[in-house]
Chain A
């Protein structure tokens, strides 16, 4: 017991002495050494404690942030899907706008008065025969009005109006097997009759034997045909057939300059028909 008491007393004296030294000589070497030595005891709290406390303290906030981020992520994912649909619709509208702008520019350049119409129906049973457009008598569409289409910056003859209703009309395509029109090659002295065959090709008949016609030559509407304005591109020669022994003319396969059954919009040309044709039209109306 006395030994323990002595130890306690000596210890107390020792530490009181040390403390007093530190107090009285704060700038002494021993005080500086003690500061440096005891500064290591601060590391667990001031270094590691502060380091991990930062992470632990932010755990609830971070967890909430993750939840919020997840909610936002779900909402934004849905929004992205909506926007993707909108983008697709906008792209389609933009493409349509671009095409229409181009075609309207072309329509101005061909110097023909008319109205734009949208192709609203195509009958698969009569794919190369006819289609409906969304303009009719109310829009001033007349019987036999010329219908042209545009493709890749080119204009081409598509057909003519042959049935008119109040709000829509039916267009007889040049590829229809009952369709025929007089065509000519620019600069050439001959004409031919382009007849529809119910396929994507036309048959050019009655080309005089010995005519200078080659594959790729482009036929246009002839001034001799009263139904169509002259000079409208009709088609290019795909193949020239040799003369049959019993005939004195040659024939050729002609591909329309535009893909007629892929048209989405057409331009219906309003024009004043020659008087005799107008009389026929009036008669038909009565």
Chain B
């Protein structure tokens, strides 16, 4: 049952991300809900499940993209592991710390993806406007998604 709930969360997040980017993109920029969901899952879920979420959310973005297949999966897996490490030393439950974490990790993950793309495929997928705007959007969205995921965990024992 839990597995079904997790799959449902995964698919639902994908649908919301697709719908938002399709209908609510402004000048080609939209918050990366998949990233925020992976971040929230990494904060809330147990370490192993957080890594699974990170990997699969990354794969989802890789499937949607056309560049390196597996780059997002690697990036988000590493991000989930990093959060697992950070959770011991930092408070990531408060909204402010989530905003900061989302902002910082968005930039890091973008740079990581950019680095992998340059190193392995010699391509430059990072757009400046996305690099400048998306971290703020993700930071604003992070507490909301975290709250939503926290409610799912509390009420349905998911994640």
Contact = CB atoms under 8 A, between A and B. Distances in A.
Interface in B1-40: 10-12, 14-15, 17-19, 22-23
A53 B51 CA distance: 31
A16 B78 contact: yes
Contact of B48 (A8, A16, A42): A8
Interface residues of B, number: 37
B81 A12 contact: yes
A72 B37 CA distance: 48
B51 A8 contact: yes
Contacts of A31: 69-70
A46 B18 contact: yes
A21 B63 CA distance: 16
Given A19-B58, A41-B14, A53-B19, A12 B51 contact: yes
Contacts of A18: 55, 70, 73
A4 B18 contact: no
A35 B69 contact: yes
Contacts of A187: none
B74 interface: yes
Interface string B57-83: 011101110001111011001101100
B74 A35 contact: no
Contacts of A41: 10-11, 14, 56, 59-60, 63
Contacts of A21: 70
Nearest to A10: B48
A20 interface: yes
Contacts of B74: 16, 19-20, 23
A236 B129 CA distance: 104
Contact of B59 (A16, A38, A44, A49): A38
A39 B77 contact: no
Contacts of B120: 23-24
B47 interface: yes
Given A8-B81, A11-B47, A11-B51, A44 B11 contact: yes
Q: Which of B51, B56, B58, B84 counts the most A-chain CB atoms under 10 A from its CB?
A: B51
A19 B69 CA distance: 8
Contacts of A42: 14, 60, 63-64
B77 A16 contact: yes
A23 B116 contact: yes
B46 interface: yes
Contacts of A26: 68-70
B52 interface: yes
A232 interface: no
Interface in A30-87: 31, 34-35, 38-39, 41-42, 44-46, 49, 53, 57
Given A23-B68, A38-B60, A42-B60, 14 more contacts: A8-B47, A12-B81, A15-B52, A18-B70, A20-B70, A20-B74, A21-B70, A22-B62, A23-B74, A31-B70, A41-B56, A45-B18, A45-B19, A53-B22
Closest 6 CB pairs of A and B: A22-B70, A8-B47, A19-B74, A45-B18, A23-B70, A15-B55
Interface of A: 4-5, 7-8, 11-12, 15-16, 18-24, 26, 31, 34-35, 38-39, 41-42, 44-46, 49, 53, 57
